[in-house]
Chains A and B, each alone.
Chain A
Amino acid sequence: DAKTTQPTSMDCAEGRAANLPCNHSTISGNEYVYWYRQIHSQGPQYIIHGLKNNETNEMASLIITEDRKSSTLILPHATLRDTAVYYCIVRAYNQGGKLIFGQGTELSVKP
């Protein structure tokens, strides 16, 4: 069972920041937060992950609350190509290798 809760769908205007929330209120101390996205008919694409601190890479920023019970993925300038299903996953390194995918958030970026 997925340990995360995400909105089913969100819209974002092209060029604006997309802020995708994720609730993981039962996260354990050794569990990381991972974000992936899946564009139709392709494999999931890794975006970013973090444990406690905020993280940024060339694709996105990850903001994790101090109590670690929720996080937000930020796409700073969304483009039409960012339209995808976004998955938030929590996993510890010793949890048998598997990623448990929930239903994710379907993000639609509109012109």
Chain B
Amino acid sequence: EAGVTQSPTHLIKTRGQQATLRCSPISGHTSVYWYQQALGLGLQFLLWYDEGEERNRGNFPPRFSGRQFPNYSSELNVNALELEDSALYLCASSLRTGSQPQHFGDGTRLSIL
């Protein structure tokens, strides 16, 4: 069974540009989650999508946004990139119900020059 896949693996942008990161969940999973892991900091929750709707977001500015498609894949968009946006962006997926665990991909490394 294929795990969570993320693309691209690495992305280099400059300040002010926009970045789009993509995530394909495990087959059958309807929930997708996004996390940010900046250097020296822990994993911070960004967004949760389920059945195409944004269900919850973390303490991040509105320039972090995303969407979930009918096939449950997801995009994370970061506008007006700032140097401090440099981080590993992780996507996870889970079944919708109850206590089901989240399963993570290996992330997209976003570097802002």
Q: Which one of A3-11, A18-26, A61-69, A91-99 is at the B interface?
A: A91-99
- Tell me the minimal C-beta distance from B4 to chain A in angstroms: 8
How many inter-chain residue pairs (CB < 8 Å) link A and B?
A: 53
Q: Which residue of A44, A97, A103 is within 8 Å of B55 (Cβ)?
A: A97
Bin the interface of chain B by size: 20 to 34
- Docked Cα-Cα span, A100 to B56, in Å, equals 14
CB within 8 Å for A98 and B101 given contacts A44-B43, A44-B90: no
Main secondary structure of the interface of A (DSSP, over half): loop
Residues of B within 8 A of A93 (CB): 97-99
Contacts of A46 in B (CB 8 A): 101-104
- A43 x B106 contact (CB < 8 A): yes
Taking the closest CB of chain B, its distance from the CB of A105, in whole angstroms, is 13
Query: Looking at chain B's contact residues, is the secondary structure mostly helix, strand, loop, or mixed?
Result: strand
Residues 47-106 of A at the B interface (beta carbon under 8 Å): 49, 51, 93, 96-103
Q: How far is the CB of A73 from the nearest CB of chain B, in Å?
A: 14
B25 at the interface (CB under 8 A from A): no
**Judging by beta carbons under 8 Å apart, are A96 and B55 in contact?**
yes
Query: When A32-B99, A51-B99, A97-B55 are in contact, do A43 and B48 touch as well, CB less than 8 Å?
Result: no
CB pair B90 A43 closer than 8 Å: yes
Is B105 part of the binding interface, using a Cβ–Cβ cutoff of 8 Å?
Answer: yes
CB distance from B83 to the nearest CB of A (A): 21
The verdict on B33 contacting chain A, using a C-beta distance below 8 Å, is yes
Please state if A97 and B48 are interface contacts (CB–CB under 8 Å): yes
B104 touches which one: A34, A43, A102, A103 (CB < 8 A)? A43
Please provide the chain B residues from 10 to 57 with a CB less than 8 Å away from any CB of chain A in the complex.
Answer: 31, 33, 35, 42-43, 45, 48, 50, 55-56
Considering the complex of A and B, which 3 residue pairs feature the smallest CB-CB distances, nearest first?
Answer: A43-B104, A97-B48, A98-B45
Given contacts A42-B107, A46-B101, A49-B101, 12 further A-B contacts (CB under 8 A): A32-B99, A43-B107, A44-B92, A49-B99, A97-B55, A97-B56, A98-B48, A98-B58, A99-B45, A101-B42, A102-B42, A103-B42
